């Protein structure tokens, strides 16, 4: 099965070698080359409030980490507001009220890493509105470097209404017409921040529309060229794509540049057009030659792992799920925080299994509360859970 045929779009990296310095003024319109469609949208590198600068540099001005500082993980993509119903098991129309919760998968991962004691940064775009200011403050309050965050005065911050079934699983309704995260431009990227990371993490939602798609491709190319480890969680949200085929093509189009990929059982079925996600032979079809680690999350059952040398399963923690939003992101934060400190985990199955047990606990604790970012655990909470909750 030629699952890698769609990876030909990686060649588009070659067309993005010349990038505007991040301190250059933002133009009033997109460049007029075919890669970037024209638009009247504009953006701000700093909104009207004083809190929107860099929260704290993850490294000194020369790019060297300070003594005792954790290796930097940069997360790229969307940050938005999730509205989660206060009562589970009802439709959106039936829900009596909603809890406002900051979210967006890459932002969740960035905050999750910081909560675990790591060093993280977020690169993306929000509206120059009250929700955008709130999200900038959320990053700051959680010690996430936000110098790569941009504000758009002409577009709103994205919103998502999340329906919780009685089992804690979700259905989404998005408001993005377009939202600010879709309008991030190549010349707004903070390449200095991206290239000094140890890990660059991203999803697929930022690949759906231009100009953010080209910004995503350029950021990943810059990271790859700088020797940064690339981490990919497709985080499939099918309603956001024009069609299932376009989603499959878009997700697989950057598949072969990633060093680490995290997928769910449902995403395996989707990408393989209905094949059995529990069949190791099916999963191995998604393992490309340069991949270092493929992770499959299975909710309360834990996860599976696949490398060139070994594979296996690590059990999860059994908890009562209230809201599964952000569980996969918490898992990613858990494993990336371990890998950033020691890449040799990729060659040591025993130590990798311990790191994945920690990551599973991160995900389990997150489903016990409503919302994504509000529920992300601290390192001590995870360590306590590993002692007190029976796997």
Start-to-end CA distance of the chain, whole Å, equals: 36
The answer to whether the peptide bond before residue 178 is cis (omega within 30 degrees of 0) is yes
Q: What is the pLDDT of residues 21-64, one digit of tens each?
A: 233 333 323 222 222 233 333 444 433 333 333 333 333 333 33
Structure tokens at 112: 């999750």
3-state secondary structure of 110: helix
Q: What is the pLDDT of residues 181-216, one digit of tens each?
A: 999 999 999 999 999 999 999 999 999 999 999 999
Q: Sketch out the chain's domains with CATH numbers.
A: 72-78+104-125+143-149+179-389 (3.40.1190.20)
pTM given for the model: 0.82
Structure tokens at 240: 């956001």
Sheet order of strands, 98-103 included:
98-103, 80-85, 159-164, 170-175
Residue 136: name the closest of 197, 232, 50, 230 by CA: 50
Phi, psi dihedrals of residue 376, rounded to the nearest 5°: -65, 130
Q: Give 103's strand partners.
A: 80
H helices then E strands: how many in the chain?
A: 10, 13
Q: What is the pLDDT of residues 254-301, one digit of tens each?
A: 999 999 999 999 999 999 999 999 999 999 999 999 999 999 999 999
Q: Is 207 exposed, middle or buried (0-12, 13-18, 19+ CB in 10 A)?
A: buried
Structure tokens at 69: 């500082």
């Amino acid at each position: 099965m030629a699952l890698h045929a769609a990876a030909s779009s990686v060649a588009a990296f070659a067309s993005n070698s010349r990038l505007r310095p991040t301190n250059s003024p933002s133009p009033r319109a997109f460049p007029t080359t075919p890669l970037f469609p024209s638009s009247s949208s504009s953006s701000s590198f700093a909104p009207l409030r004083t809190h929107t600068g860099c929260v704290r540099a993850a490294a000194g001005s020369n790019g060297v980490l300070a003594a005792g500082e954790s290796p930097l993980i940069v997360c790229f993509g969307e940050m938005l507001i999730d509205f989660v119903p206060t009562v589970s098991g009802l439709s959106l129309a039936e829900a009596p009220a909603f809890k406002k919760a900051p979210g967006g998968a890459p932002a969740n991962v960035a905050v999750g890493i910081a909560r675990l004691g790591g060093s993280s940064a977020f690169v993306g775009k929000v509206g120059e509105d009250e929700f955008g200011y709130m999200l900038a403050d959320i990053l700051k309050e959680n010690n996430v470097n936000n110098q790569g965050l941009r504000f758009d005065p002409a577009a709103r911050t994205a919103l998502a209404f999340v329906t919780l079934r009685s089992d804690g699983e979700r259905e989404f309704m998005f408001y993005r017409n377009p939202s600010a995260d879709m309008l991030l431009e190549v010349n707004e990227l903070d390449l200095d921040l991206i290239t000094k990371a140890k890990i660059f993490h991203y999803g697929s939602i930022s690949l759906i529309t231009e100009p953010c798609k080209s910004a995503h491709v350029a950021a990943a190319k810059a990271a790859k060229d700088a020797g940064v480890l690339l981490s990919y969680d497709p985080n499939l949200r099918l309603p956001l794509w024009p069609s299932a085929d376009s989603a499959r093509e878009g997700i697989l189009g950057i598949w072969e540049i990633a060093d680490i990929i995290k997928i769910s059982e449902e995403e395996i079925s989707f990408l393989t057009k209905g094949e059995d996600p529990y069949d190791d032979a099916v999963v191995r079809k998604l393992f490309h030659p340069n991949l270092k680690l493929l992770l499959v999350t299975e909710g309360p059952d834990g996860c599976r792992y696949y490398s060139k040398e070994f594979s296996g399963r690590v059990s999860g923690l059994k908890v009562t799920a209230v809201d599964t939003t952000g569980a996969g992101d918490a898992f990613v934060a858990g494993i990336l925080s371990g890998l950033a400190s020691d890449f040799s985990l990729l060659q040591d199955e025993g130590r990798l299994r311990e790191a994945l047990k920690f990551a599973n606990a991160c995900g389990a604790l997150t489903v016990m509360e409503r919302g994504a970012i509000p529920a992300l655990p601290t390192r001590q909470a995870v360590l306590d859970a590993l002692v007190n909750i029976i796997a």
